[in-house]
Amino acid sequence: MTDSQTILLATLPSPPAKAALPPSSIAPAKVAAPAKPAEPQHSNEAIERSIIDQSARGPVLTFFSTAIFWLLVSTVLGYIASKRLHDPDFILGPEWLYRMLGVDGLFRSIFDSNFTYGRVWPAYNTALIYGWCSLAGMGVATWLIGRLCRVAIQAPAVLQLGAWFWNAGVAVGVIMILGGHNTGLEYFEMVRGARVLMFIGYLCIGIWGLILFRYKRTVAPYISVSYLVAGFFLFPWFFGAADLLSSAPTPGVMKNVVNAWYQGGLFNLWFGCLGLASAYYFIPKVINKPIYSYNLAKIGFWGWVFLGGLTAMTKLSGGPVPAYLVTISVAASILSIIPIACLTVNIGRTMIGHTDKMASSPTLRFTYVGTVFFAIAAGLGVLGALRGVDSFTHFTTWDYGVKHTLLMGFFSMVMFGAIYYITPRLVGCEWLSRTFIKLHFLGTAYGGATIIALFLFGGLAAGFTLNESAVDASPSNPGREFIFTNVMANGGWQHVIRTYIGYVFFGVAQIIFAIHFIFMRLRIGQPAGEPTLMSNPGEAH
């Protein structure tokens, strides 16, 4: 930030008088323009907001651009992984081109040995979780902290550096996984070096987040602040502890226990908190009305933070671990109905009477649909923890379905909503095409839902076959009747549909989104001022 900007910030009227008011009075929402004429107070705030936005511009755009790069990478890897499951010997891409270039032999050997399902699947998860989701989440969170605490970012270069360290870590991790360096722990497959790079990057980013919070000029009465602090504060503890414990010479099943515990922190607390922070900010912002009940939101927050770290051991039910771990997790899962219900009721009641705005505002549509997916994901988590359901879904793709509901349904949707809101404020022009946004929404929602539904139903179908009793063979047949390939043969359709409908639709939507985002970076778009809506208000119905 330049000196003149500092002076400008210092001369602004002090905000506390305004701070205690509900969000609607803090800032005129961009989408629903306030009816009353702008007062001088507002224009000062507008200047202040634009200073804060400008200070965040570099790092946040770096986060978004690299996140979108990883989104594309992960979608391609996901397509390959999914296709490998029903067509294990396929070769990607135009073979005639490889033959023409004389690299078909090389390509074939790389593709055959480095892109098998067992390597592509973890590479896909790493690119999706640590590449796209984490980077987008940190970008949105940085911007949100600046906005909510009304502080400009003092040293954007540190954040930039952090973003590049993190990216380097993810890149090393993904490439090493494809090359065969895998730790043997799910969702934590990156080699140590990659994890160290990511952790250094995180320290640059997360510490800045907390410092911004420390130097807040005011705190807007949004529950988002609590969620952001929780996410930023808890992630390094979980990540660091999991890193130390999985590199420590503690052999035995403790590594699996720690890994399951880390997954709880990663999915429930890191992605849960960052995503909910964004949802709790943008929904009231766009509809220009405070959240239905702040106390309900608070109960939901504390419930989620305390229970989120306890629910993950259901993954190990029946496994070689102390049984009480699973019992505690089942109990915590059932209790977590309370925070989930608080959140669902709160957002639902807030949206009453405003659902028509979803037709026009891309931010609201993505964020609200994402929040609905959160309720579904959390509900599925509770359902899957129940013993009766778990006996059918354990060891099947059901778990992938629940994780994808959280990552693709909830988190990605909320992040898209936030990116649609934030980017125009950083680059100074509006999104080019409403058709692009519409197509992106359709592909993401329906492609993502297809992927999720097929993981879930395919998991159930496989689970029923897996659970078939084994001893109904005829006495003359000494072997048992159960043939494992039945499981895959009965469930083979799910992989086909998931590949060609799920990942293709999802992938095309993300390519459209990436092109749209590149246009924004090149400042090709609508003139600033009027947000690009998906339809003109009142037109859609």
Give, as ranges, the residues between 39 and 98 that touch another protein (CB under 8 A): 84-86, 88-89
In this chain, which of 63, 124, 130, 213 binds another protein, going by CB under 8 A? 213
| Residues forming beta bridges with residue 430, ordered by sequence position | 526
Binding part of the chain for another protein, among 276-284, 334-342, 392-400, 423-431 by CB under 8 A, reads: 392-400
Between 270 and 513, name the residue whose CB sits nearer to another protein: 270
User: Which region holds residue 22: left if phi is over 0, alpha if psi is between -120 and 50, else beta?
Assistant: beta
CB 309 within 8 A of CB 264: yes
Which residue is associated with the tokens 């009453």? Answer: 352
Query: Closest approach of Cβ 78 to another protein, in Å?
Result: 14
For residue 420, the tally of other CB atoms under 10 A from its CB is 27
Query: Closest approach of Cβ 445 to another protein, in Å?
Result: 26
* Under rule CB under 8 A, residue 302 binds another protein: yes
In this chain, which of 82, 183, 336, 371 binds another protein, going by CB under 8 A? 183
Query: Closest approach of Cβ 190 to another protein, in Å?
Result: 13
> Which residues from 316-355 bind another protein, rule CB under 8 A?
316-322, 325, 328
For residue 511, the tally of other CB atoms under 10 A from its CB is 15
Binding part of the chain for another protein, among 39-47, 407-415, 421-429, 487-495 by CB under 8 A, reads: 487-495
* Under rule CB under 8 A, residue 111 binds another protein: no
For residue 186, the tally of other CB atoms under 10 A from its CB is 18
CB 383 within 8 A of CB 333: no
* Under rule CB under 8 A, residue 475 binds another protein: no
* Under rule CB under 8 A, residue 241 binds another protein: yes
- Taking Cα atoms as reference points, which of 188, 156, 152, 163 lies closest to residue 173? 188
Query: Closest approach of Cβ 177 to another protein, in Å?
Result: 8
CB 208 within 8 A of CB 56: no
Contact characters 488-517, another protein, x per CB under 8 A: xx--x--x----------------------
Residue 133, Cβ density class (10 Å: 0-12 exposed, 13-18 middle, ≥19 buried): buried
Buried/exposed code over 39-75 (b: 16+ C-beta within 10 A; e: otherwise): eeeeeebeebeebbbbbbbbbbbbbbbbbbbbbbbbb
Encoded tokens for 144: 């949100």
SS (H, E, C) 199-253: HHHHHHHHHHHHHHHHCCCCCCCCCHHHHHHHHHHHHHHHHHHHHHHHHCCCCCC
In this chain, which of 54, 226, 371, 532 binds another protein, going by CB under 8 A? 226
Between 313 and 343, name the residue whose CB sits nearer to another protein: 313
- Taking Cα atoms as reference points, which of 260, 57, 283 lies closest to residue 153? 57
Query: Closest approach of Cβ 113 to another protein, in Å?
Result: 3
* Under rule CB under 8 A, residue 221 binds another protein: yes
Query: Closest approach of Cβ 171 to another protein, in Å?
Result: 19
Binding-site size, another protein (CB under 8 A): 96
Binding part of the chain for another protein, among 2-10, 37-45, 228-236, 344-352 by CB under 8 A, reads: 228-236
* Under rule CB under 8 A, residue 25 binds another protein: no
Query: Closest approach of Cβ 537 to another protein, in Å?
Result: 32
Query: Closest approach of Cβ 169 to another protein, in Å?
Result: 20
CA distances from residue 373 to 173, 243, 370, 448, 460 in whole angstroms, order as listed: 29, 30, 5, 11, 20
* Under rule CB under 8 A, residue 256 binds another protein: yes
In this chain, which of 72, 229, 386, 504 binds another protein, going by CB under 8 A? 229
Binding part of the chain for another protein, among 370-378, 387-395, 438-446, 500-508 by CB under 8 A, reads: 387-395
* Under rule CB under 8 A, residue 14 binds another protein: no
* Under rule CB under 8 A, residue 138 binds another protein: no
Query: Closest approach of Cβ 486 to another protein, in Å?
Result: 8
Encoded tokens for 93: 């891409």
Query: Closest approach of Cβ 322 to another protein, in Å?
Result: 5
Please provide the DSSP assignment of 76-108 as one string: HHHHHHHHHTT-TT---S-HHHHHHHT-HHHHH
